[in-house]
A and B are shown apart, each in its own frame.
Chain A
Amino acid sequence: MHFKLRAATKEDCKEISRMILELAVYEKMSDQVKISHEELERDGFCQNPFFECLVAEVHEEDKAKEGFTMVGYALYFYTYSTWKGRSVYLEDLYVMPEFRGKGIGKGLLGKVAEMGKKEQCVRLQLSVLEWNTPSRDFYAAKGALDLTDNEGWHFIRFDGQNLDNLANEAPKD
């Protein structure tokens, strides 16, 4: 099956939003999706975009049961390590179930690595859920190290009311 990988355009955001929800369903966290294609359009296609996105498309004749030709995406952005410098962070990588096993996921990952290389990034980071063995195996096969296991790093988050409280205590200029 032929597929095409290309940079997303603003017009692709509705399809990307559909797939974001599909991935969230797979990760058993669909109730946590709060933004729609509108925020993606605003935040990904402004003067200083907050993320970049690649999409995977198939031909009309190979389209999905429901009629979609956009079958996968990779959403990433650039981060910084005080130890090593420029990094790329792969936030989401998803291929619709019926299109897996055809090299689309590998292709998307490779393209993100290529974008990182262009920007002189020295590493790529991502996070995976503990129970998601297919994904953990996929990345391990590409040389990924589990830093939570090896080095004990934990992800911490401040949000909602807690973030608000902290901010309200900040000194006024």
Chain B
Amino acid sequence: MANFILRKAEPSDVSDIMRLIKELAKFEEMEEKVVLTEKDLLEDGFGDHPFYHCLVAEVPKVQSPEGYTVIGFAMYYFTYDPWIGKLLYLEDFYVMQEFRGLGIGSQILKVLSETAMKTRCSGMHFIVAENNTKSIEFYKRRGAADLSSAEGWRLFEIEKEDLLKMTAK
């Protein structure tokens, strides 16, 4: 049984967070899309107006063969729905493969839900890739609704080049 703790990320955690972000991107088969750096993470998460909040899962050094103690993380921020108000948006949620099935992921999700309730959020939102059946099942078991299937919402994105075109006079 894994001995682990969940705590708020600190500036010294950014290189571990970066490593885990890349591992998750690799799992989602989109590794080459990660352009974020440790410097960005530091500036954007630990400055005056953080763009995100982060929880990390840590195990005692002795339990990890490669010597990592930070073996999971969840990154989130607050968003707004004009119909129901504040929401907690879960951007990334990942536990290293060798530490799965030990209740760490469930615990992270529970702590996040508690944070959502404490901060008067009406719900928690996130996106999942449709081929990620394991994750979809994990969430559905806990009562999550798939709004793309149920209500037909589609995610759209406009990238920097086209954004700049719109701002040009």
Contacts and interface: CB of A to CB of B under 8 A. Distances in A.
B143 A162 contact: yes
A128 B147 CA distance: 12
B83 A86 contact: no
A129 B126 CA distance: 17
B142 interface: yes
Given A124-B157, A149-B154, A156 B128 contact: yes
A127 B118 CA distance: 27
B51 A143 contact: no
A83 B36 contact: yes
A83 B157 contact: no
Nearest to B81: A91
A82 B75 contact: yes
B113 A170 contact: yes
Among B126, B139, B153, find the residue whose CB has the most chain A CB atoms closer than 10 A: B153
Interface of B: 21, 24-25, 30, 33-36, 40, 44, 49, 51-52, 75, 77-86, 89, 91-92, 107, 109-111, 113-114, 116-117, 122-131, 136, 139, 142-149, 151-167
A126 interface: yes
A154 B146 contact: yes
Interface of A: 20, 24, 29, 32-35, 39-40, 43-44, 48, 50-51, 75, 77-86, 89, 91-92, 109-110, 113-114, 116-117, 121-131, 136, 139, 142-149, 151-167, 169-171
Given A130-B154, A154-B146, A156-B147, 12 more contacts: A48-B49, A82-B24, A91-B81, A91-B82, A123-B160, A127-B155, A142-B158, A142-B165, A153-B130, A153-B148, A154-B147, A166-B113
Given A83-B33, A166-B142, A170-B113, A144 B158 contact: yes
B117 A169 contact: no
Nearest to A28: B151
A80 B23 CA distance: 18
Contact of B167 (A51, A79, A113, A129): A113
A163 B113 contact: yes
Contacts of A167: 110, 113-114, 116-117
A154 B158 CA distance: 17
B111 to A, nearest CB: 5
B82 A20 contact: yes
B166 A110 contact: yes
Contact of A155 (B49, B80, B147, B162): B147
A50 B80 contact: yes
